Amino acid sequence: MKIPERQIFLLRIRSAFAPGLIFLFIMAVTIVLRTVSLAQIERDLEEAGEEECRRVVGLLESSIKAHMTAIEGVANHLTHSSKLTPANFAGYCRQIMGGTEGFLVIAATGPDLRPLWLESDSPITAAEFRSVVNADSIQSTLRKLRSNAVLTISDPLESENYGEVFASVIPYYQGPLQAGYVVGLFPADVIKTLHKPELLNFSITVQQAGDLTAPRRMLLETAARAESADTARFQAGVRDSIFLGSQKWEVQVYTSGYRGTNPFWFTSGAILFLGTGLALVLGSFLYRQQILASTSRYEARDSQTRLASTSDRLATITEELDLILNNVDEGIILYDEKLNPLQTNDAFVAAFGGEADFGAAQDSADKHHYKMSSLFQLESQYWALFNTLRENPEEPAQDEIQTRSEGDNSAPLFYERRATAVCGPDGDRRGYLVIYQDQTPKRTVERLKDDFLSSVTHDLRTPLAAIKGFAETMLRDKSMENNTRDEFMSIICSESSRLQEMIEDLLDLRRMEEGRMEFAPSSYDIQLLVEGVVRSSQPILSTRALKVEMTWEGAHTIALLGDVSKISRALRNVLSNSIKYSPTHGTIHIIGRESNDRVEIEFRDDGPGIPENELAHVFEKFYRGAKHVRRTQGTGLGLSIVKHIVEGHGGVVSAANLDSGGTVVRIVLPRDFDHGLANVQNMDEFPTSTPARAAVLDSVGVPTKEGAAETPS
């Protein structure tokens, strides 16, 4: 399913809301964490810087004290040595210089500071030593020595080859008298390189503290390199005093930076990278999940809508299919692949009984097949269709079957069976569909046509044979008497009229069935019309010695509207049918009932009646009744013509058997021809309050309206 572009845009907007909030929240947490982390780093660096500054002060103090101790050791060696030689002095100094780094030279001088012995790893000469160390350059140092006679470190001195140096000076004695000084030179750079911090960059300031009134002198100052603003994010330092013999030095160690990787940049970058990455990953993941969820919800709603629509359409299709299946004449039954009955339509249930929905239970299948096979003449005949379908499932199977007769008077039923395999979308066979088409009407029509052709052939042949025979006799016998010739001509005319009437019946029925029957409506008196039909049938009534009794009930005040000639013909056909099947010396009862909107006429005879299974067919064309009454003459068209004429006037015609024996044919006609069947409500409800007028018609007279008989002319 393709989602519309506008809907996709709205889905993205809605899906981005929650991931956006998550992203902003994580970024806010990241910034707060970065700020807290940088502040903590700054505090940690300040603490580490102060600790490192204290370490540097300690290193400086211990380094200078080590130089002082070494010089004191040389002075003591010179003072207490009983055998002082240059070699001995040199060996001792090399030992001292090996254990203490940074010495340029150790010298033993006289009282005037002239070097007596020099021991050095560097090529320094006595003259260069004198240029650095003399009474003028270390005058302040000498004053301190005279006042307290302890080790003293000079102010920074300038040397030509070694730059700025310090001189540590201490007197030595031989006996009670001062013999000279022990002087040790070490460069100021030694102090600078005493500390080796791994993280911090220092600036060191060393001042010599004199008395309270004297100004302080700067002994050593090292400046930290310039740092960027990001580097100088913290300041740390210590300020301390160290005592070197009789001297007091004030040492200030200060740091404002660090060496190596920038912890602020690293920490800040790491936190921002992780926070941003986490926000992007979670935001993207949540956005994707939101998109998928929104798309799934949209698709689910769309699928639900389409499913509901499909369900409605399926329900409609199912209802339409059920309506179609239950309104077709063919009986339809569906089996599964194991021939268990699943479903049938109303036509099948009406024809064979059973249920509309079987299910797939085996006991239901056994009962169904047992019942169905018992209806047919042979059980093998029932299963033959299924065996054919199993052998060749790709081809439809077809056969004709006949049901068993339930009695002597019941005619068998004929069915055409068509079966086909039902396959699913994958081509697998899912079941079988069997259709039963009732062929009984077709067989009946064919039988009626055969009977009609046989009867019509016989009926047409009889008048034709008579016409031909009398005509040939007249042609051969030229001397035939006139009376005989007139009699033969009368017979020929009578048979010709009979033949013409049969042909007219066929033509009229054809026109009626095609809807080409035309009516010429006019007002008429139904009672007079019935009496006229009876009078016209008097000759045949006399021949059969039959008697007609007429009874008329209800008001007789309103005339009917209709085609008099066609209504008269219908009445004549019904009466002729009653005469045909009445026994000799029998009585035909004609009962008329009138109301304000309709008229009912019943023709009752004393004949053998009509079998119950044939009552529904008596008004069909070519139908002539049971075998024991088929010997009577007729084409089987009379009652069919009656049905078309009566229904053409909006009336109803029916036939039934009387309890006392015989048959009754009932005709109901509306008074108003235009209203048709709308005026015919109930054939059994007629007013009976008006006294009945009865008359008896026999072979010698016809009743008048007043009931008196008159002899036909």
Domains delineated in the chain: 12-258 (no CATH), 326-438 (3.30.450.20), 444-511 (1.10.287.130), 519-710 (3.30.565.10)
Assign 56 a pLDDT band (cuts: 50, 70, 90). confident
Q: Specify whether the CB–CB gap between 168 and 75 falls below 8 A.
A: no
Kindly report the average pLDDT of the chain as a whole number: 75
Of the candidate ranges 147-156, 484-493, 523-532, 657-666, the one whose mean pLDDT is the lowest: 147-156
> Quick one: residue 37, left, alpha or beta (phi over 0 = left, psi -120 to 50 = alpha)?
alpha
Are the CB atoms for 605 and 417 separated by under 8 Å?
A: no
The per-residue pLDDT for 221 is 60
Q: Tokens 């060496």 appear where?
A: 259
H/E stretch holding 533? helix 526-536
If pLDDT is split at 50, 70 and 90, which confidence band does 218 have?
low
pLDDT at 617: 75
Assess whether pLDDT exceeds 60 at residue 688: no
DSSP one-letter string for 447-488: HHHHHHHHHHHHHHHHHHHHHHHHHHHHHH-TT--HHHHHHH
With beta carbons less than 8 A apart as the criterion, state whether 98 and 181 touch: no
Mean pLDDT over 88-110 rounds to 84
Residue 227 pLDDT greater than 70, yes or no: no
At 692, which helix (H) or strand (E)?
none
Which of 55-59, 234-238, 673-677 bottoms out in mean pLDDT, i.e. has the lowest? 673-677
Separation CA 21–CA 154 (nearest Å): 70
- Between residues 89 and 700, which one has the greater pLDDT? 89
Closest CA to 132 of 178, 90, 186: 186
Q: What is the pLDDT of residues 162-183, one digit of tens each?
A: 888 888 888 888 888 888 889 9
Higher pLDDT among residues 408 and 645, named by residue: 645
Nearest one of 677, 703, 361 to 528, comparing CA atoms? 703
Provide the percentage of residues in the chain whose pLDDT is more than 70: 75
**pLDDT above 50 for 697:** no
655/288: higher pLDDT: 655
Which pLDDT value is given to residue 601? Answer: 93
Residues 6+ apart with CB under 8 A from 78: 84, 89, 108, 172, 174, 179, 182
CB distance 610 to 657 below 8 Å: yes
Averaged pLDDT, 184-195: 69
612: three-class secondary structure by DSSP = helix
Instruction: Report the DSSP beta bridge partners of residue 549.
Output: 589, 696
User: pLDDT tens across 339-397, in order?
Assistant: 888 888 888 888 877 665 554 445 577 888 888 888 776 778 888 888 888 888 778 88
Indicate the DSSP class of residue 376.
Answer: B
pLDDT of residue 592: 92
Cross-sheet strand order for the sheet of 397-402? 341-344, 331-336, 429-438, 414-423, 397-402
Distance CA 713, CA 701 (A): 10
Between CA 359 and CA 367, with CA 362 as vertex, the angle to 5 degrees is: 90
Whether residue 491 contacts residue 499, with contact meaning beta carbons closer than 8 Å, is answered with no
Question: For residue 398, what pLDDT band results from cuts at 50, 70 and 90?
Answer: confident
> Looking at residue 405, what is its pLDDT?
54
SS3 letters for 51-104? HHHHHHHHHHHHHHHHHHHHHHHHHHHHHHCCCCCHHHHHHHHHHHHHHCCCCC
Asked whether residue 115 carries a pLDDT value surpassing 70, the answer given is yes
Taking only the tens place, the pLDDT of each residue in 459-480 is 677 778 878 888 888 888 888 8
Q: Contact 198/259 with Cβ under 8 angstroms?
A: yes
Q: Can you give the pLDDT at residue 456?
A: 66
Burial label, 622 (beta-carbon count in 10 A; 0-12, 13-18, 19+): buried
DSSP-assigned letter for residue 615: G
What is the number of residues in the chain? 713
pLDDT at 631 over 80: no
**pLDDT tens digits for 242-292?**
776 556 777 777 676 655 556 667 777 787 888 888 888 887 888 777 777
| pLDDT tens-digit series, residues 568-624 | 888 988 998 888 888 888 899 999 998 888 899 999 998 888 888 777 778 876 666
What whole-number percentage of the chain has pLDDT above 90? 4
CA distance 713 to 707: 18
Q: ∠ CA 71-73-75 to the nearest 5 degrees? A: 70
Residue labelled with tokens 């001189």: 167
| Distance separating alpha carbons of residues 649 and 652, to the nearest angstrom | 9
Residue 687: predicted pLDDT: 40
